[in-house]
Amino acid sequence: MLAELISVGTELLMGEIVDSNAAFIAQELKNRGVFIHWKTTVGDNLTRLQEAISRALTRADLVILGGGLGPTDDDLTREAILATIGETPVIDTVYLETLTKWFQSRGRSFPQANTKQAWVSKSTQALPNPVGTAPGWFTTVPNTGKIIVAMPGPPREMKKMFLEQLLPRLSLPQNGFHYTTFRTVGIGESHLAERLGALTQGSNPSIGTYARRDGVHVRVASSAATLIEAEALAAPTELEVRKALSGFIYGTDEQTLPGVILELLRSKGQTLSVIESITGGLIADVLTDTAGSSDAFQASAVAYSNTAKRHFGVSESTLEQHGAISAQTTRALALEAKTRFGSSWALAATGAADSSLGNTMPAGTLFVSIAKPDGSVVDAALTVAGDRRTMKERAAFFALGALWRELVKT
């Protein structure tokens, strides 16, 4: 089954709203073996919306529209579907009564403009919306067997309708679809692709690489008559990926780098503390996003200014000879964190987000130091490009990646 998504709303085209609905729908359909080859965003224009639906029907079995089901004149999804299939609306009196009672129960009069939310047609049935006024539409296109689905734009309404109303009505394929996402750190996308070589040219299983803020993800996907057959088909390729990227894969699927690090610490009965400069608390932030992080994460501090760095163990001579952004400064911070907070491990990060304020290092220069349980210190450095936020994120995950590599060695 091929599907196409059409996101409706001028606010989407203007960048005023992020289209999170499309990502949710794509993920849910992918997990059920339905493939999306096209995704379109259309403004609140009847002609262009009708054109998008007509074009989608020439190449997809299932067309899903999100948005444009409100009561106002610029909510045109129903009108566009009706124009496409050549039908006229009729009032669903039962739903109109339900809609009227919805307003009355909230002490509000029923706006006549909302009457069109009770429309249906000969080929259309309403999808109930228990958390909003706009029902969805499930339309079987005459003489084709193809399906057009319309769902409301608010994510809270759409997700509930998708899971509870739409999925039970779809005759989804019985084939099996399997995928595994390998999460890597410490290797760029181009070097990763070189290691994978001809593996990326396969179609079933297929391999896709995706640069993310926490590293590069590698997705191996396969389809077959059953899920068991799909898993067996993917297994040899997954093994080859593991071999090619040995030393860089820290987890799979929903595992996160902070989560893997904290689990390694827990398994060893050890703890971690952090002192950050360039990252401004971002390392501690991503670590504490993980449930149960307090079992292994001891403490954190942000030593941003030189005054703060002096307070956390960096000597005046170190600052004068090497500068605030240096391996020597980062090493001193890591050792101080380990001692002051009494943790097994300590992590420190400094860097130059820009070249202002007398920074002697070029923008994008990052330094990381890791104080280990035996008292030794490991240093790492990296130069990155990007805006200030990008540098902070790269520094945070570079630091965590360096820590992960040391943890798996011990």
DSSP state of 153: S
DSSP-derived pairing of the beta strands 345-351 and 365-371: antiparallel
Domain ranges of the chain: 2-169, 176-252, 257-409
The CATH code of domain 176-252 reads 3.30.70.2860
Taking the CA atoms of 74, 76, 79 and 85 in sequence, report the sign of the dihedral they define: positive
Q: Is the backbone of residue 67 left (phi > 0), alpha (psi -120 to 50) or beta?
A: left
Strand ranges across the sheet with 136-140:
35-42, 2-8, 62-66, 147-151, 136-140, 124-127
Q: Please give the pLDDT value at position 357.
A: 52
Judge whether 346 and 371 are in contact, CB under 8 Å.
yes
CATH number of 257-409: 3.90.950.20
Q: What's the topology of domain 2-169?
A: Molybdenum Cofactor Biosythetic Enzyme; Chain A (3.40.980)
Interstrand relation of 345-351 and 62-66 (parallel, antiparallel or unpaired)? unpaired
How deeply is 103 buried, as exposed, middle or buried, from its count of CB atoms within 10 A (0-12, 13-18, 19+)?
middle
pLDDT for 343 equals: 95
Determine the Cα–Cα distance for residues 294 and 213; give it in Å rounded to an integer. Answer: 24
State residue 71's pLDDT score: 83
Tell me the β-bridge partners of 120: 90
- The SS3 of residue 310 is helix
Pairing, β 119-120 against β 124-127: unpaired
Per-residue pLDDT of the chain (410 residues; tens, 9 = 90+): 899 999 999 999 998 888 999 999 998 888 787 889 999 999 999 999 999 999 999 999 999 999 998 888 888 999 999 999 999 999 888 888 887 887 887 788 777 778 888 888 999 999 988 888 788 999 999 999 899 999 999 999 999 999 999 999 987 766 677 889 999 999 988 899 999 999 988 888 989 888 888 889 999 988 888 889 989 999 999 999 999 999 999 999 889 999 999 999 999 999 999 999 999 999 999 999 988 899 999 999 999 999 999 999 999 999 999 989 999 999 999 999 999 999 999 999 998 877 655 556 777 789 999 999 999 999 999 888 788 888 899 899 999 999 999 999 98
Residue type, 181: T
CB 401 within 8 Å of CB 368: no
Rounded to 10 degrees, the C-alpha dihedral 202/206/207/211 comes to 130
- Residue 209: what are its φ and ψ, rounded to 5°? -115, 140
